[in-house]
Amino acid sequence: MFLFLRFLVPLLFLTQLVCADEMSSNKARSMQAIKELGSSLKSSVQMAMKESGPIGALEYCNVVALDITKELSESLQLTVRRTSLKTRNKKNIPDDWEQKSLSVFTAQYIAGAEIKNMYFHEIVTTNNNDRIYRFIKPIPTGKVCLTCHGSNISSDLAHKIKELYPDDKAVDFKLGHIRGAFSVTIPLD
């Protein structure tokens, strides 16, 4: 029995080290993907806003945002996306894991936690017994976001939002509040 334990304990320790390393490297990959997506979307929307105004930026975002997200996901061999408890695009509706995480973030924010320090990650086994790494980080509402997602949206813009997104719920956000989250999934098997 002693001989068995003598080999089992180091093996368990080694397994924990491998898992911690896997978590750390996938967290770094996720943070990089989020940084790239956030930067790309923000600069694209700001450029469209400058060139075409809020309605043009909305139309641009409607057509291009998901393409930018898909291209980045493919190039990084992971899935990165945006989601929210109040979505504009139906394709961004949170799954159960994201919804629970967003609810926890909201509770933490209300309790005084800073958005910039929030994230959650874990390794999950799917129903198909595939192991995946999940990472989620909230997105704070920036000043530029309020034009289309705030509580004082112009009537022309509100009409265009309703036309492009008939089931829109992504309004009435306040500066600095949680707007949604970036969510990353990395296959491990």
Q: Determine the pLDDT at residue 1.
A: 52
Strand order in the sheet with 120-125: 79-83, 178-187, 131-140, 120-125
Question: Which residues make beta-bridge pairs with 84?
Answer: none
Using 50, 70 and 90 to split pLDDT, how confident is the model at 11?
Answer: very low
pLDDT of 20 strictly over 80? no
CA distances from 103 to 24, 84, 100 (A): 24, 10, 5
Mean pLDDT over the full length of the chain: 89
- pLDDT digits over 69-94, tens only? 999 999 999 999 999 999 999 999 99
- pLDDT digits over 121-171, tens only? 999 999 999 999 999 999 999 988 899 999 999 999 999 999 999 999 999
- pLDDT digits over 46-59, tens only? 899 999 999 999 99
Cα(155)–Cα(115) distance, rounded to whole angstroms? 31
Q: Determine the pLDDT at residue 75.
A: 96
pLDDT of 6 strictly over 60? no
State how beta strands 79-83 and 178-187 pair.
antiparallel
Percent of the chain with pLDDT over 70: 89
pLDDT of 12 strictly over 50? no
Mean pLDDT of 101-106: 97
> What ranges in 77-152 are assigned the alpha helix state H?
96-110, 146-149
